[in-house]
Amino acid sequence: MSNEFHIVVCGSIVPDPLQTLEPVQGAQGPELKNEMMLPAVLDPWAGHALYEAADLAVKNPGSKVWLVSLGPKAKLQQVMMNIAQKVPFELVCADGSASGFTDSFEVAKVLAQSIEGIQGMDKSKLLVFGGWQSASRGSCAVMQMVGEMLGISEQFQGVDKLTAGGGGALEIMERIEGGAYQVSVCTGTPAVLGWATGELPEPPNNPQVGMQNMRLVMPALQQAKPANVQGSSLTFQSVELPQQRRETRVVKDMPVDDMAREIAEWLNS
């Protein structure tokens, strides 16, 4: 017997990681050099969550997927032209900074408020998906705070597989230390899942899905409300690229035992 889920995926845009990203101190705080000129993509971690959500919705007829995103409208529109062709979803967006220097708490607050405002969403059927981490902010904290703000205590992080069983039960496989997995059973919704890489590849482009999505994406972008993510007392003293450091010594005919001993001493230093 299939279940019916209302799946909300939290995901924003990030600068294309193939570009050179150089942090600088701007007038409003730290930012990336020429950030508004950099091509943007959907956060890869959030992308995995979106594809898993769409697959779950297909397997459970009557389910619906929303993508909740915080970012500049112009950049969101560029990215949605591509993402809209991947899987069916309804966009809910807030117009604001998607910078990795924005406080995690402020981002979580905007996302939670956006989720609360979704028309027709049934919280008893709610699954909140998102990236376990992000390409712009590796704090592993945003999804946890979104869940807390929504009053959802069932939370799972580092998820690679979700299996929906009969009666609404969810079997969830999470990554833990040592390359192992922890398998948990959740009796039902609501729940928050922070996805790792999942098990699904990126879907191919489907122009028909893209046209259906864009009918709702464009109005959502036009109606996006400004989001204030500057209310934090978080400050940065400085931002800079990590320094590259390489120390090389060429030694010929060194005994293997001496090599191993030297490496062990270096690791313990």
- The pLDDT of 224-241, averaged and rounded, is 71
Structure tokens at 190: 């609501």
Q: Is residue 32 in a domain?
A: yes
Q: Is residue 83 in a domain?
A: yes
The tally of domains found in the chain comes to 1
Residue type, 235: T
Q: Is residue 263 in a domain?
A: no
Q: Is residue 237 in a domain?
A: no
pLDDT at 138: 67
CA neighbor of 73 nearest in space, from 195, 181, 177, 221: 221
Burial of 251 (0-12, 13-18, 19+ CB in 10 A): exposed
In this structure, what CATH number is given to the domain that contains residue 42? 3.40.50.620
Please tell me the pTM assigned to this model: 0.80
Q: Is residue 143 in a domain?
A: yes
CA neighbor of 132 nearest in space, from 184, 195, 75: 195
pLDDT at 50: 92
Q: Is residue 150 in a domain?
A: yes
Q: Which domain holds residue 145?
A: 6-226
Average of per-residue pLDDT values in the chain: 84
Tens digit of pLDDT for each residue in 142-185? 888 889 999 988 999 888 898 888 778 889 888 888 788 888 88
Q: Is residue 46 in a domain?
A: yes
Tens digit of pLDDT for each residue in 58-114? 988 889 999 998 888 888 888 888 888 888 888 888 888 877 777 788 888 888 988
Residue pair 231/106 in contact (Cβ under 8 Å)? The answer is: yes
Q: Is residue 31 in a domain?
A: yes
Count of CA atoms in the C-beta half-sphere (13 A) of 75? 24
